[in-house]
Structure 1
Amino acid sequence: MALAHSNSIRGEVTIRHLSKTYTLNGKPLSVLKDFNLTIRSGESLAIVGASGSGKTTLLRILAGLEAADSGEVLIDGRRIRGVGTERAVIFQEPRLLPWLTVIDNIAFGLETRGLSRDEARFIARRYVELVGLKGFETAYPRQLSGGMAQRVGIARALAVQPEILLLDEPLGALDAMTKIGMQQELARIWKEEDVTTVLVTHDLEEAIFLADRILILPREKGGEPRLIDIDLPRPRDRSASGFVRQREQLLGLFGLH
């Protein structure tokens, strides 16, 4: 299956003939088969689908954390082989270092790339402000709420200025009100940062709120992936008629009417 293509050159992801099969109870289980897709530079792509459809597997392959059985992934025309500095990953749990403060957690990745502590902290301060944590620079992870901790994880990932940001259910563990607030924050942050984003989520409304396009992965054997364009103005209003229609369309595709 071939999906849309673009000629952009920074942060463009090209997936060619990707296949991945696991063994479950002694039987092969194919989660990706001859999969092709281009993720445009600077776009926000959400990946949705039932459990077992291959969402997280695809994200882990893009991150270089898992190898495909066949096929290739290219970033700006270069084939990836394992993890790379042009990609950053945000998981459902922020995975902060408990012995470091907010500012030092954000600066950590910069220091591992060779910046001095002062240089790293100077850059980290910008991202503290970007994610709305000014005043909490010296707090430790144990002193943060779940939403605040996830903000630190987002800031840490963005501070290294990746071309591609990969997010695996980053808001899945938050309560409903915090989650909506963080979705609004993500929309604001992505508007300010020139970064291609790939978001795995089970939340269809979240996908509509954040994404330029939504990739629906089928669970049924032999089913075809689908791409849905989200042509809604930003910032998005969940109560607007266009948003509601888009949500109804997605629910219908999943047979949830």
Structure 2
Amino acid sequence: MTTLPVPLRGEVALRGLHKSFALEGRSIPILTNFDLTIRGGESLAIVGASGAGKTTLLRILAGLETADTGDILIDGEPAGGLGSACAVIFQEPRLLPWLTVLRNVAFGLEARGTAPATARERAGRYLRLVGLAGFEEAYPRQLSGGMAQRVGIARALTTQPEILLLDEPFGALDAMTKLAMQEELVRIWREENVTMVTVTHDLEEAVFLADRVLVLSRNRTQAPRLIDVSLPRPRERTSSAFVALRQELMAEFGLH
């Protein structure tokens, strides 16, 4: 008898989402009758021009914004937002400068009531995962930008989320550090088996990170488009297939 593979947890289904904002007495639609299924364990990148709704969508997923109408299902169960099932990584790591690296990573767990010894043991494990063993007692001011963002990733992973949400996580880094962090993020995503959703303006980053790319348009009459990225991993940025996909994304925005 054939045994079917068990699907990874962390599937998110968005059904009929509407979101608008009030501006000078007018209602400005951001998302209109929006449907999307994010497969458990996949890496999804969201791209689009400013104002297309990328960050709004991510904030709704995180429970930081509420949709006007519509449903969110997590592994088939209704939810108003992902809450404790997800962790969010922002462009700035937002570390507490008076705490050591280890204490920064453990802080969220301790705030949720985890015993300090347990929180710090888990924090140490994730610091090793992101390549920061030996920096546990350093302070944020002693870290480079890339190292600080690694601390932010470790802090998010300590809660052992099913879904990892990233909002322009490497936008503030220099080009070389950014490339290295993209490779590290792919490694961590594969080791942790989480569902990963990344908002980015960097089209090459989208192709490098994602299994699928969601393209959002500021033109509300133009339906969102999903582009499959079926390239093997590890991905070679200079391969003809990689370059072709990047060019396909550029064409979506009228770029050449």
TM-score with structure 2 setting the length: 0.95
> Shift in Å at residue 83 of structure 1?
5.6
Distance 1:152 1:51 in 2: 28
Q: Is the 8 A contact 2:71 2:80 kept in 1?
A: no
Amino acid at match of 2:251: G
Report what 1:30 is aligned to.
29
Q: Is the 8 A contact 2:166 2:198 kept in 1?
A: yes
Report what 2:13 is aligned to.
14
Q: Is the 8 A contact 1:16 1:35 kept in 2?
A: yes
Report what 1:88 is aligned to.
87
Distance 1:83 1:115 in 2: 21
Pairs within 5 Å for 1:73-84? 73-82=72-81, 84=83
What are the Cα deviations for residues 92-127 of structure 1, in whole angstroms up to 9, with x where unaligned?
A: 110111111111111112222322111111111111
Distance 1:72 1:229 in 2: 25
Distance 2:133 2:52 in 1: 39
3-state secondary structure, aligned to 2:84:
coil
What are the Cα deviations for residues 167-188 of structure 1, in whole angstroms up to 9, with x where unaligned?
A: 1111111111111111111011
Q: Does 1:247 align with 2:233?
A: no
User: Which moves more between the two structures, 176-185 or 19-28?
Assistant: 19-28
> Shift in Å at residue 163 of structure 1?
0.4
| Percent of paired sites with the same residue | 67
TM-score with structure 1 setting the length: 0.95
Report what 1:176 is aligned to.
175
> Shift in Å at residue 166 of structure 1?
0.6
Q: Is the 8 A contact 2:8 2:41 kept in 1?
A: no
> Shift in Å at residue 78 of structure 1?
2.0
Give the RMSD, CA atoms, in angstroms. 1.3
Distance 1:12 1:126, change over 3 A: same
User: Which moves more between the two structures, 15-24 or 77-86?
Assistant: 77-86
3-state secondary structure, aligned to 1:85:
helix
User: Which moves more between the two structures, 73-82 or 206-215?
Assistant: 73-82
User: Which moves more between the two structures, 76-85 or 247-256?
Assistant: 76-85
> Shift in Å at residue 81 of structure 1?
2.6
User: Which moves more between the two structures, 23-32 or 116-125?
Assistant: 23-32
> Shift in Å at residue 24 of structure 1?
2.2
Structure 1: state its 5+ residue gaps.
1-6
Q: Is the 8 A contact 1:63 1:83 kept in 2?
A: yes
Structure 2: state its 5+ residue gaps.
1-5
Report what 1:112 is aligned to.
111
> Shift in Å at residue 61 of structure 1?
0.3
Q: Is the 8 A contact 2:11 2:75 kept in 1?
A: yes
User: Which moves more between the two structures, 69-78 or 162-171?
Assistant: 69-78
Aligned residues: 251
Report what 1:200 is aligned to.
199
Distance 1:162 1:236 in 2: 26
Distance 2:82 2:245 in 1: 35
> Shift in Å at residue 213 of structure 1?
0.3
